[in-house]
Amino acid sequence: MASIMKQAINVSLNPNRSLGIDQAYLSIINKYKQNLTFYSIFSECRLCNGILTTNLSAESNKTLLVSTKYPLHMYYMTNLEWCHTTYAFKEHGSYGWNLSAEELCSNVYVINEPSNAYFPLLTALVILIMLIIVIQAGKVILKTIKDYFERNITYIDDDLTEGLQESESQIQVITNMVRLSTRIQSVDTFRGIAVLLMIFVNNGGGEYVFFNHSAWFGLTVADLVLPWFAWIMGLTIAISKRAELLNISRSKIILRNFTRSLILIVLGLMINSQKSKYIEDLRFPGVLQLLAISYFVCTMIETIFMKSDRQFERFFLLGDILENWIQWLIILTIVAAHTLITFLLPVADCPKGYLGPGGYDTFKKYTNCTGGAAGYIDRYVFGNHMYHQTQNPVYGVILRHDPEGIMNTLSAIFIVYLGIHAGKIILYHYYCNSMILRWLLCSLITGIIAGFLCNFSKEDGIIPLSKKMMTISFVLTTCSFAFLLFAILYYLIDYKKFWTGAPFIYAGTNSISLYIGHSVTMELFPWSWKENDPTHFTQLFINLWTTALWLLAAYLLYKKDIKITV
């Protein structure tokens, strides 16, 4: 019971102790002439009863240490009456709540004002903007000085000079066209955003809730990074496989893809082994394993069924779909199988189609149903070789469930293929306006379907949003944002050339290397270190420092034209 209480509302009888990250004090004054029972639970917890937090003696007061991560639902009970309220506590604040029969359900009041937990984030943002301004201004000044000293003062023949300038302009246009056709800058920029964001949130994200994965339902910034990485991987598959088919046999491509996937799986197991003392508890699933399997399945489908010539020129508007109807049929079959297993597979003592975490969820009715069918399959197949975490910050103790398990890997295949479709748009449509319009249309369609499935909320609808379960609504929502972001990047970088993609483009060219490197060095100095009394400021500094170091490494590799790949 003590561990459960710490998750919901940490109890402290020493009001002089220093407050940590996302903590505040609540002083409860019991003015009743009888004992009271006090309950609390995070409002984030879906359909949850309150947890017995403390007993209040008659006409006494008690100070509690409360978490400020989520609004807290609190209530107390007497023999004849009860009262409840929900309050969003702020970090390092001190609050009071008077309980009395004369003033039933009184409001929580502020004793000492809380600190601004988001000030470090705002400070970091201002510093970043200033750095960008200084760097850009420096580039302009250096370019102006260089142009001043290198400009030609004497012109021998105006006609000849104009002819040379025109030829140079044509050569430059041809060069730009070749560069664009061989490497799309927005692809590396998108991938760089995903991997740098992944490094930042994996290291803690400054200990901000929105930079950490959602407890079970909903969507945070951290929840976007893995789907985005898988999505952009799919986009590159579409382009690279079409090029490979011109020179390499299909069997050799499949063998090469299998080898690459196998290497990624081995690397993933090596990363997992850092947290396993014995082979008996080595986690088999993982991020690289999920990416490897979804990559191999999609590349094999594309390699087998992709056509080297176009069959549907007369249906140009739908050519990217009609020519690939077999691939779509296979992918939609996988999605249908995933849905049928989720909602029809019987799990002992659990309702069919359950997508919740178990634990406190649904008034503790399904405590042993964590993850529903997906969780059951993972526990049956992997046994002890899966994600070990069983303490959920909102839902308490739950059963083992792997966020990169078998069913979630099927969802990832769908994500990768939606990325492949984004790449097909590049292959089938020549005009930039046409490509951008289609990406925006895909963003709108996937977003609307996702909204319909989850009823435009995080935990309602037919299929609620859940990264832990990687539900179809979650897949479509994250891919909707991916289509939108890529359309914006392509417009700014490759079409209008307003931006080079720096600094994200540096990380995008060596994304897998950065991910593996950061996973190995996550707890090592100088990439990271521990603080005795961590705060949002210190943790944000450490996490940004880690990200900046890997960005510097990516920049040096980029300038040396070194690309480390699997």
Do 374 and 407 meet the contact criterion of CB atoms below 8 Å apart?
Answer: yes
Contacts of 99 (CB under 8 A, 6+ apart): 28, 29, 30, 31, 32, 36, 56, 76, 83, 106
pLDDT at residue 308, as a whole number: 67
Q: Cis ω on the peptide bond leading into residue 503 (within 30° of 0)?
A: yes
Distances (CA, A) of 447 to 436, 451, 477, 482: 16, 6, 5, 11
Contacts of 340 (CB under 8 A, 6+ apart): none
pLDDT at residue 59, as a whole number: 86
User: Which SS3 state, helix, strand or coil, does residue 49 take?
Assistant: coil
Catalytic residues: 213
Burial label for 331, CB within 10 Å (0-12, 13-18, 19+), is buried
User: Which SS3 state, helix, strand or coil, does residue 532 take?
Assistant: coil
| In the block, residue with structure tokens 């040396």 | 560
pLDDT at residue 80, as a whole number: 62
Alpha-carbon gap, residue 125 to 382, rounded angstroms:
43
pLDDT at residue 388, as a whole number: 85
Alpha-carbon gap, residue 469 to 120, rounded angstroms:
32
Among the listed residues 223, 225, 195, 220, the one whose alpha carbon sits nearest the alpha carbon of residue 209: 220
Both tokens of 94, joined, read 């001190």
| In the block, residue with structure tokens 């943002």 | 125
- Per-residue pLDDT of the chain (566 residues), as tens digits, is 333 344 334 444 444 457 889 999 999 998 888 888 899 999 999 999 889 999 988 889 999 999 999 999 998 877 666 788 899 999 999 999 998 877 777 889 999 999 888 999 999 899 988 988 888 788 888 878 877 777 654 444 444 334 434 444 444 433 333 333 447 899 999 999 999 999 999 999 999 999 999 999 999 999 999 999 999 999 999 988 888 888 888 899 999 999 999 999 999 999 999 888 788 889 999 999 999 999 999 999 999 998 766 554 544 567 677 788 899 999 999 999 999 999 999 999 899 999 999 999 999 999 999 999 999 999 999 999 998 889 999 999 999 999 999 999 999 999 999 999 999 999 888 888 989 999 999 999 999 999 999 999 988 899 999 999 999 999 999 999 999 999 999 999 999 999 999 899 999 999 999 999 999 998 888 888 888 888 999 999 999 999 999 999 999 999 988 888 87
**Four-point Cα dihedral 396, 400, 404, 405, nearest 10:** -140
Both tokens of 446, joined, read 């996937």
Alpha-carbon gap, residue 171 to 153, rounded angstroms:
24
pLDDT at residue 310, as a whole number: 57
pLDDT at residue 152, as a whole number: 53
The 8-class DSSP code of residue 316 comes to G
Amino acid at the residue 121: L
Long-range Cβ contact pairs of 329-338 (< 8 A, separation 24 or more)? 330/301, 331/301, 331/413, 331/414, 331/417, 334/410, 334/413, 334/414, 335/410, 335/414, 335/472, 337/410, 338/407, 338/410, 338/411, 338/414, 338/472
Do 55 and 35 meet the contact criterion of CB atoms below 8 Å apart?
Answer: yes
Contacts of 434 (CB under 8 A, 6+ apart): none
Q: Cis ω on the peptide bond leading into residue 526 (within 30° of 0)?
A: yes
Do 22 and 90 meet the contact criterion of CB atoms below 8 Å apart?
Answer: no
As separate numbers, helices (DSSP H) first and strands (DSSP E) second, the chain gives 17, 10
**Per-residue buried b or exposed e for 35-64, using 16+ beta carbons within 10 Å of the residue's own CB:** ebebbbbbebbbebebbebbebeeeeebbb
Alpha-carbon gap, residue 321 to 424, rounded angstroms:
9
